[in-house]
Structures are given as C-alpha cells and as structure tokens.
A and B are shown apart, each in its own frame.
Chain A
Amino acid sequence: MARSTSKDAQDLFRALWSAYSATPTNLKIIDLYVMYAVFTALIQVVYMAMVGSFPFNSFLSGVLSCVGTAVLAVCLRIQVNKENKEFKDLAPERAFADFVLCNLVLHLVIMNFLG
C-alpha cells in the first residue's frame, strides 16, 4: 500500500476543485450565500462565548436566523439542481417561490424573538 503524502492531498483538493468548477454558476451563488450565513453564525457563537449569554433570546434569534437561512438555501439548492432527478418534475420557479415564502416566515419569527 502506497504511503500517502502531502502531494496526494494536494492532488485530492485539485481534483475536488476542478470537479466543483464544473458546477453551474447559479448553484455556486447559492453555495456562497450558505457560506456567508454559516460564517455569520460562527462569529455570533464566538462573540457569545466572549461576552456571555445575557440577552439570550437575541443570541438565539441571531444564530437561528443564520442557520435557518442556510438550511432554506440548501433546500433551494437541492431543488434547482438539474442533476438531481428526484425533483425533476418541480419547476425551479416553484422552488424559488417556496424559498421566498419560507424566508418571510423565518424573518417574521426572528423579528419577534429578537427584542
């Protein structure tokens, strides 16, 4: 069995990156959006660890708005992905409408819980 080296790892990442480059641009935009949401959530968790959990409801709503956004975006990504045969009957417009509606409900709840 061949020993793994750092060159293997580099090859692996390069292969992954080249495979990902083939992804359609609209899915890449969704991925960027998801990363943005997850990153914002992480920042808040670190902030809470430093400052303390005092306005805990605010913390929860801040983090949950990020997590909720990320989850909804992932759902959208699954549904608009052409490669995914499971949702081939679902029009991407319909998927986007669902996404918008869910986001509205999410942010309504977040606003109520934030103060």
Chain B
Amino acid sequence: MSKKLIVLFLGLVPLLCTCFSPDTPSDRRVLVLLDDFAIKSSHSIFFNNLKSRGFDLDFKLADDPTISLQRYGQYLYDALILFSPTIERFGGSIDAAAILDFVDSGHDLIVAANGNASDLIREIATECGVDFDEDSSALVIDHSGYAVSATEGDHTLIASDDFIKSDVILGSEKIKAPVLFQGIGHSLNPSNSLVLKVLSASPSAYSANPKSKLTSPPSLTGTSMSLVSVVQARNNARILISGSLSMFSNRFFRSDVQKAGSPTKHDKSGNEQFVTELSKWVFHERGHLKAVNVKHHKVGEVDEPAIYRINDDLEYSVEIYEWSGKTWEPYVANDVQVQFYMMSPYVLKTLSTDNKGYYFTAFKVPDVYGVFQFKVEYERLGYTSLSLSKQIPVRPFRHNEYERFIPAAYPYYGAAFSMMAGFFIFTAVHLYHK
C-alpha cells in the first residue's frame, strides 16, 4: 500500500512541478470547455499549436456534470478557454462567479462568443468590462471593410487590420494579413481602465441584424466598437474576449483573404499569427516581468544600511527580467524610474541600465528626515505591473556632525566675543569712573 502511495507521489511530482508558479509564470494546465466536440476538430490548428507549446489541454463539454475548476481549495487548472458561446448553464460546480473567482486568483481566461451568445457568456464578459451588443441577432457588418468571398454576400465576414500598436501583446513581427472576423461586436466599459481594444472595428462597421432591415440607428458603430479585447487585471491575470469563435477556426486560419477595395490578395489570413501571438500574451509567455535583487547602499559601501542620514549619497539597483516562455530574459527599457517617497516623491530618477537586466542609479538623500520608501511603480501597456517598495528611515545630523568654525562665520564670532570684551571694559570703566 505504502509502495503504491510512493509511486503515485513520484508520478505526481513532475505534474506538480509544471504548475503555474512565480518562477515559471506560463500556464501549463488548460481547461477547454466546448459546446460540442466538433469544435475540437474544427479548431484543431489552434489547439495543436497550444499543445506544441507545452500546454496540457483538457477538453470537456461545457455542460459535463463532472467538471470543476478546483478541488480541496486548489485550482486544477492555470487557464480556462471558453469555446462554448451558447451554453446557458455550465455543468458541475462552475458558474459565472466561479469563473470570476478563478480570474481573481490570478488565472487566465479566453472567452469566444458568436452570433447567438448566451446570457451566461455575456455576463462573464460584462464582469470583465466588455459589453456585447444586447441585440442577440446582431452581427458586425461592414460594407466597405468586408472580406471578398464567393459565398457570403451579407458582409458579415470582415477583414480587419486595425490592431493595437503594442509589440508586447501582438509580438514584434507585424501581422502580415488582415484578420477574418465573423461575430458580434462589443463596447468597452469606460469605467474599466484595465480593458484594451486589440482589434477594433473599422470606421464603417456597425452592429445590426443582417437579415432584417435597419429600422433604428445601430447601438454600436465605427471605431468605438471592438472586435477583440484583452484585460490585464491588477493581479496580472489576463483575459482575452473575442466576439467571434470562428476567428480561431481552421477554416479561417487556412482561408485566403482579400479585403474589399484592396488589390492585394493574401494566400493566408492573419488569423493564425494573430491568435497565436495573442494567446502567447494571454498565457504569460510574453510581457511577464519580475524584479529581483533590489539593493541600495551608500556610495563606496556594499552593505545595506539600516538607516540613512540626510544628504547621504546612495546607490540603488534592481534587476528586471522578462519571461520568454522558457527562461527569464533580461528586460531592456529606458523608462524605469525609482522614487524616494514619503507622502510624495522627493526624488524621482530614471534608472540607467546595462542592457542585461541590471538597472541602477545614484542620488543624494534629500535634506528632509523621516521614514522614506524606495518605490518602483512600473506599468506599461501589455506588461505585468511591477510594484516594489522598500522602507528606509532617514535621520538628521547628529549634533556633533555639524560643521564647526566656518570661515564665513568668523565676523559673527568676532562680534559676539567683542561684545563680551566690551562688557568687561564697560564694567570696569563704569565702576571706576568717578
């Protein structure tokens, strides 16, 4: 019996070691919830791509009564893919609140909707700051930016190339061809500052039912409408919300694309590159920063002091690395700043870097004493936010550390002593004068 347990445990060790952790922040175990298993084959390129990058995909039907996200308080998965746009109720113990808890505990989420998205999927999206068009029969229509196609004439298949300008989210390589999109549009909640438009609709797009005549102005129009959005929560959990499930499909990956009005015909749509790069970002293979070895000391010393004196010269250094999916690579930027902070920043300095991840600077402690903090607040589009703070007290001069006998003050000393001498002489004269 005990032998069996040991074998079981040894079998579990590699599994446990590949979990999400601060040291290796990429996700490993991914739960994929599907409407039906046909999606598994119709979207196989996307799934195989994930598998080849080392993800362990667990396919389940969304209404499978045995599915659960956590067991004994431990999450079983690092990320969740919801390819089940029509599901009204998840099976097992999963509901919208469970999924939001999953995100709140730092896990990642990909949600894809389509034309007949259920209220449940809409609710999850709304909680993430994305409001899908309320008209359930509406699709995004674009009469000038549609993809030229022999079979479809209602201009709901859109070739979109209005990407977010961010190398970290979409990769340093330019997306070569327009992305095919067929689905519903959404607007971003203006009170949510964390949600970003990754693929926005063209100025001529609008959201309406393509089968019926347009009677009232569409609620979502133009570039304010988003097709694909991402969220990076304050706990660095990442969410991808797409209004189109077919954007991930093999058919769209393989399809050629010609945007209406454009003479160039691309042999292959930009979907595969776009979705792959975006999933790398969502699953923390890119743009995940860590800061280590925060050090500070007086100039010329090595050890970190327990307290600084006003006007001390000090050196501050920190190492910042970016996770590349396999290893921690040095992060290179020229805009990392450190604050010497007490209620407000007294010193704000941009850190110099040696381009190997080492950031350093030197500055003089201000002429103010109190309890200060070294603060690095680094928030850049697409990167996880860095928030470091280290407390350090600053004391005034000791009474014997002040300068004595300053040459500039000799006239004052002279005056004070001459007043004393004058007092003696005056006393003598006053007393002996008769």
Q: Do A and B come from one complex?
A: yes
* A interface residue numbers (CB < 8 A to B): 25-26, 29-30, 33, 36-37, 40-41, 43-44, 47, 51-52, 54-55, 58-59, 61-63, 65-66, 69, 73, 96, 100, 103, 107, 110-111, 114-115
A37/B412 in contact, CB under 8 A: no
Interface of B is mostly: helix
Looking at chain A's contact residues, the main secondary structure is helix
CB neighbours of A110 from chain B (8 A): 416, 419
Given contacts A59-B409, A114-B413, contact A40 B423 (CB under 8 A): no
Tell me the nearest residue of chain A to B416, going by C-beta.
A65
* A107-B411 contact, Cβ under 8 Å, with A25-B433, A61-B416: no
User: 1/0 contact trace for B401-421 toward A, CB 8 Å?
Assistant: 010101011011101101110
Closest 4 CB pairs of A and B: A62-B412, A58-B409, A55-B409, A58-B412
**A94 → chain B closest CB, angstroms:** 14
Q: Which residues of B contact A (CB under 8 A)?
A: 402, 404, 406, 408-409, 411-413, 415-416, 418-420, 422-423, 426-427, 429-431, 433
Other CB < 8 Å A-B pairs besides A107-B416, A107-B419, A114-B416, 6 of them? A44-B411, A55-B408, A58-B413, A62-B415, A65-B416, A69-B419
The one of B406, B429, B431 in contact with A58, judged by C-beta atoms closer than 8 angstroms, is: B406
Query: Are A62 and B426 neighbours in the complex by a CB distance under 8 Å?
Result: no
Q: How far is the CA of A114 from the CA of B413 in the complex (A)?
A: 7
Q: List 26 A-B contacts (CB under 8 A).
A: A30-B430, A36-B422, A37-B419, A40-B415, A40-B419, A43-B415, A44-B411, A44-B412, A47-B411, A52-B408, A55-B406, A55-B408, A59-B412, A61-B412, A61-B416, A62-B412, A65-B415, A65-B416, A65-B419, A66-B419, A69-B423, A73-B426, A96-B430, A107-B416, A107-B419, A107-B420
- The residue in chain B whose Cβ has the minimal distance to the Cβ of A110 is B416
Give every chain B residue within 8 A of A25 (Cβ-Cβ).
433
B433 touches A33 (CB 8 A): no
The answer to whether A29 and B413 touch (CB under 8 A), given A36-B422, A37-B422, is no
Q: A36-B422, A62-B411 in contact; A111/B416 too (CB < 8 A)?
A: yes
Chain B residues with CB under 8 Å of A41's CB are 415
B406 cross-chain contacts in A, Cβ below 8 A: 54-55, 58
Assembly CA distance A103 to B101 (angstroms): 78
Q: Are B416 and A29 in contact, CB atoms less than 8 angstroms apart? A: no
The complex places the Cα of A25 from the Cα of B185 at a distance, in Å, of 105
Complex contacts, A40 vs chain B, CB 8 Å: 415, 418-419
Q: How far is the CA of A43 from the CA of B412 in the complex (A)?
A: 10
Cα distance A33–B429 in the bound complex, in angstroms: 11
Q: Residue of B at shortest CB range from A28?
A: B433
CB distance from A67 to the nearest CB of B (A): 10
Q: Are B404 and A115 in touch, CB under 8 angstroms?
A: yes
Chain B residue nearest in CB terms to A114: B416
Min CB distance A107 to B, Å, is 6
Bound Cα distance from A61 to B413, whole angstroms: 9
Chain B residues near A51 (CB, 8 Å)? 408
